[in-house]
Amino acid sequence: MMIDQKNIEKKIIIDGYSLNIEDVVNVARKNYTVSLSQKSLVNMKKSRNMVENLVDKKEVVYGITTGFGKFSTVHIDSEQTEQLQENLIISHAVGVGNHLPEEVVRAIMLLRANALSKGFSGIRIEVVQTLMDMINKHVHPAIPEKGSLGASGDLAPLAHMVLVMIGKGEAYYNGELISGEAAMKKAGIHIIRLKAKEGLALINGTQAMTAIGALAVSDAVQIAKTADISAALTCEALEAIPAAFDSKVQEVRPHKGQSTVAKNLLSLLEGSKIIAEAQHGRVQDAYTLRCIPQVHGASRDAIDYAYKTIEIEINSVTDNPILFPDEGEIISGGNFHGQPVALAMDFLGIAVSELANISERRTERLVNPALSDLPGFLTEKGGLNSGFMISQYVSASLVSENKVLAHPASVDSILSSANQEDHVSMGTIAARKTREIIYNSRNVLAIELLCAAQGIDLRGGEPAEATKIAYNKIRKIVPKLEKDREYRLDIKKVVELIEKELLINIY
């Protein structure tokens, strides 16, 4: 792992109330460090005192002096509370599959620390500090991606995170997978011994699905902006009719996203001589051009919904039971249930999938000589050269895969924990699927951008000022296609252009 030295001194101070998605991205991807606010120290100490008083009084409280789930009726003696918490972690760390990416693991740790810092979970300050030390010193637990039902929270993934905190499990340190104990020792972080309530506080929450979701909604915003740019370039390559983007059309159907996209397209295409001088004689375009505001706009509205849902969730208390020290109450509730995130992630996956669907159809119009007056597959020497023929195949394959992935996970449920947990959200599955949809869609847009730039080259004429900037950014890294070459390299370069947000800054 390469550590970005310039970001080492950049710090996020968490208090459980003010974290935003940009903060999550900065910690997860740019290696910002984290620390606790003074407010959090006060609140956490208050709730911890409450837990210790309950243990001293030998009161029967779920998860503190009882077993978990179906075993909530089993009373645990005070001298066994530490063993209870450790057993919880080692028994729940049974996830399977590939390890979650480093950026997701960093986001998970940040979100768990942030939720605990609110002071409603009864955990010691030093335990949360250990979690933040792991973020700051780049100890990244090996967390398998599969095994969460998303309703007692993300029990299995978070248990793998906590394993390393207690000197067990595995972790990545300096890019090497080693034992959790060795990683903590090399980083100079003290291994902890969990006390009453702490194991449950650490793993009973929605932080795995929400971490994936926070990065996904950030990426989805990037994709939506990129989709408008790729669409504008295609509009020029195909000599689209911009009248459909007129503000009057949007005003009589005033969806926010639709209006935004129409304004973007008019701005991007302003001054385009290619469009102004078009002689095609059409009075209207196919839907993939004419309905860009309606389709892109609906996806933007869905992305906005998911964004707002995730920002609420990253500052929420999602463990159980919840302590209210000021009122002297401890309440067993269901905030760990991932349904809000599950629905948002399913909706987000569908929204991004649709951006890719319409992009692939625009690509088809660019490469198909029956649908435009451009050379077949955008090559001037067809036959000897295949041009973008198979690039469109790849795009079609990716959107078809997206259609399978976009099937909502949240409509499913399954019984677990001897029917105690009899409705589950599948939120982590929804988030993981959406992450894959975003990966696919970014590649679909890269292919459209390549085809649109080639279409403009073949069309000739003067593009708009804004689209010309985007065109030049593409041509700076990928030259005009004169003969067949390794297109995979071109696609990869444009994907990196999208990921680094070097296109969307033309707005």
State whether 217 and 134 are in the same domain: no
Q: Output phi, psi for 485, to 5 deg.
A: -150, -175
Which is higher by pLDDT, 59 or 250? Answer: 250
Query: For 34-68, how does the pLDDT look when each residue is reduced to its tens digit (9 = 90+)?
Result: 999 999 999 999 999 999 988 888 777 776 777 66
State whether 182 and 312 are in the same domain: no
Q: Look up the pTM and report it.
A: 0.95
Amino acid 2: pLDDT = 47
State whether 277 and 184 are in the same domain: no
Q: Output phi, psi for 58, to 5 deg.
A: 55, 35
Query: For 352-406, how does the pLDDT look when each residue is reduced to its tens digit (9 = 90+)?
Result: 999 999 999 999 999 999 999 999 999 999 999 999 999 999 999 999 999 999 9
Where in the sequence is the domain holding 15, given as residue range(s)?
5-205
Amino acid 57: pLDDT = 80
Residues 6+ apart with CB under 8 A from 341: 150, 206, 209, 210, 213, 309, 310, 313, 425, 427, 430, 431
CATH of the domain at 147: 1.10.275.10
Q: Give the mean model confidence (pLDDT) for residues 88-105.
A: 97
Place of tokens 């252009």: 497
State whether 121 and 253 are in the same domain: no
State whether 267 and 398 are in the same domain: yes
Q: How many CB atoms lie within 10 A of CB 364?
A: 17
CATH of the domain at 332: 1.20.200.10
Q: How confident is the model at residue 8 (pLDDT cuts 50, 70, 90)?
A: low
Amino acid 141: pLDDT = 98
- When computed from its CA atoms, the radius of gyration of the chain, rounded to whole angstroms, is 26
Query: For 223-244, how does the pLDDT look when each residue is reduced to its tens digit (9 = 90+)?
Result: 999 999 999 999 999 999 999 9
In the chain, the number of structural domains is 2
State whether 198 and 242 are in the same domain: no
Report the share of the chain in percent with pLDDT over 90: 87
State whether 410 and 492 are in the same domain: yes
pLDDT at 1 over 50: no
- In the chain, the amino acid numbered 404 is V
State whether 224 and 186 are in the same domain: no
Where in the sequence numbering do the catalytic residues fall?
62
Amino acid 393: pLDDT = 97
At which of 188, 205, 222 does a domain end? 205
State whether 199 and 227 are in the same domain: no
At which of 205, 235, 258 does a domain end? 205
State whether 135 and 279 are in the same domain: no
State whether 121 and 53 are in the same domain: yes
Q: Residue 326 CA to chain centroid, in angstroms?
A: 36
State whether 502 and 465 are in the same domain: yes
Which is higher by pLDDT, 57 or 461? Answer: 461
Contact 20, 311 (CB under 8 A): yes
Contact 337, 428 (CB under 8 A): no
At which of 179, 205, 231 does a domain end? 205
